[in-house]
Chains A and B, each alone.
Chain A
């Protein structure tokens, strides 16, 4: 089933101009059908990987190994539990966002291009999650990047859309050229692009070039994940994009193109030939800076979407912290728990932040303002939306009945065991995050101001996606330890076991 994860959304994107001719409704229906089918396929892939372990798919032949040689010559797609889990989340959030867009994008023009770009964004992210080939990874990384530049600037009649789009595109192209340079150096040194085989080569012969390449790759990918010294594009791009796109950018793009790629490269490619302790500490330093700066900047915002964007930066800090500890304490129980927490938080934050941005979109769509000072008392007129926001805010701070609790707990626990100072920083970050969100919640619950009195609940097509996400957050929050033990810890174990990743492609060779 693995190739259909790419084929279906790609078919959807290519056929969109034809469907667009049949009218607006046909285009929307087509987009919903395509994303629904993709979601179905991703469930199947996840289920298969969960039961059977790593899946390998070779493009163009049965086996990745070339004729008469003992190394892989073809593009392989290699899906382990982490990749399958992220593919599932990507397909789910995209489906929700597409349904939401039907009503949210009602007043915009050029919608067949919008849906084409959304489906291409999905293709890119699913490809990143699946691929086992370094250059193929770069291609999907660029598909994701270019689709998101275009989507950020989609409302090109607003000055901020254009400004954020240009900023994001210039800096993003620079970052992805760093990634390309890293790929080039690795190819020049080792003569292969298959991740599994490359991992074997690097383990056997770790050179200085491979370290330079690792530095370039991590540098480019930290940019895409919005880690602190290079997070400035995120705080502009997320508020300027249409809210449905902010939900995808914040929930998915920064994780697939950034954190997931770092994790995959660090563990699966460089796991054997690099000093993981040093690499882990580098990631931890960036993570701590990201945690503090992102969450602290969220407190002082008056723009609702900007607040959510900075909060995304802060939450990326937690995920990076988990990954960093997973690297620095590689092979120990603490490292395993931290990595499981990072994976868990990636999934949870994707759901939570998608929900919060969809709510922000509903508020803006209704009232035409993102300024928190003008939104007081919105709960009086939009009770369901405000309730959904309350759930999202509780989840992101990590209040027990919601899903954010368990994942943050895993990260706190492991960071405190790893190094108490890092644990303290993580707690301080959450304190800031709490302050930011409690302010918004109080604004929503306050005395209604004049502007808010004309507000009303959004229609069904916007409420339904929000309620689905609320249900997902609450339901997964009810069984945190079951999910952690049965999905997240095995995913972390599977990721740490580089040998299995390599031999799945090379067949023990």
Chain B
């Protein structure tokens, strides 16, 4: 099963070094979505890029040991549910009413600081989680599709 093996030692070593960096940068993009360019989708796609680098550099065999289909599908569902839950918080006024910003206990700090945009950071994290889990699952599913000629 040559497809399941990874690439050479140089690629693997560099991947070991860069995967955490990509992941941290993605997490930064997600968590600062309300302050800097980027947000849930961009950050989530970046983190998924780290996952795909892992898949390519170490190969499908290694990936399969670290990937759990049920876990990722639950994470994706949880991302959606968290988004919906945030949108529901202010249902007393309206769907998607940003009650955390207007009168919520946290997330209503001075504009420009990290905890300042009401439900937006939480929604960004939810979207980031959903995008990351979805993209990684899609790539693993495609990579482990039946092989040529079988």
Residues of A within 8 A of B (CB): 3, 6-7, 10-11, 13-18, 20-21, 57-62
Contacts and interface: CB of A to CB of B under 8 A. Distances in A.
Contact of A7 (B70, B74, B84, B97): B84
B80 A3 contact: no
A15 B97 contact: no
Given A10-B84, A11-B84, A14-B80, A58 B94 contact: yes
Contacts of A7: 84, 88, 95
A16 B80 CA distance: 11
Nearest to A113: B73
Contacts of B88: 7
A60 B70 contact: no
13 contacts: A3-B91, A6-B95, A7-B84, A7-B95, A10-B84, A14-B81, A14-B84, A16-B77, A17-B70, A57-B94, A57-B95, A60-B97, A62-B94
- Please report whether the interface of chain B is mostly helix, strand, loop or mixed according to DSSP: helix
B94 A15 contact: no
Contacts of A16: 77
Contacts of A60: 94-98
Contacts of A20: 73
A18 B95 contact: no
Interface residue tally on B, bucketed by range: 10 to 19
Interface of B: 70, 73-74, 76-77, 80-81, 84, 88, 91, 93-98
Nearest to B79: A14
Nearest to B81: A14
B103 to A, nearest CB: 14
Nearest to A11: B84
A60 B102 CA distance: 11
Given A3-B91, A21-B70, A13 B96 contact: no
Given A3-B91, A17-B73, A11 B97 contact: no
Contact of A21 (B74, B94, B98): B74
Nearest to A20: B73
Nearest to B74: A17
B120 to A, nearest CB: 12
Contacts of A3: 91, 94-95
A62 B96 CA distance: 11
Shortest Cβ-Cβ A-B pairs, 8 listed: A14-B80, A3-B95, A17-B77, A17-B73, A60-B96, A59-B96, A14-B81, A14-B77
A61 B91 contact: no
Contacts of B96: 59-60
Nearest to B90: A60
B97 A61 contact: yes
A57 B84 CA distance: 17
Contacts of A61: 93-94, 97
A495 to B, nearest CB: 25
The winner among B77, B84, B88, B98 for most chain A CB atoms within 10 A is: B77
Contacts of A59: 94-96
Contacts of B94: 3, 57-62
B38 to A, nearest CB: 21
Given A10-B84, A58-B94, A59-B95, 13 more contacts: A3-B95, A7-B84, A11-B81, A15-B77, A17-B70, A17-B77, A20-B73, A21-B74, A57-B94, A60-B95, A60-B98, A61-B94, A62-B93
A17 B96 CA distance: 24
Nearest to B95: A3
A21 B70 CA distance: 8
A17 B97 contact: no
The winner among A6, A16, A61 for most chain B CB atoms within 10 A is: A61
Contacts of A58: 94
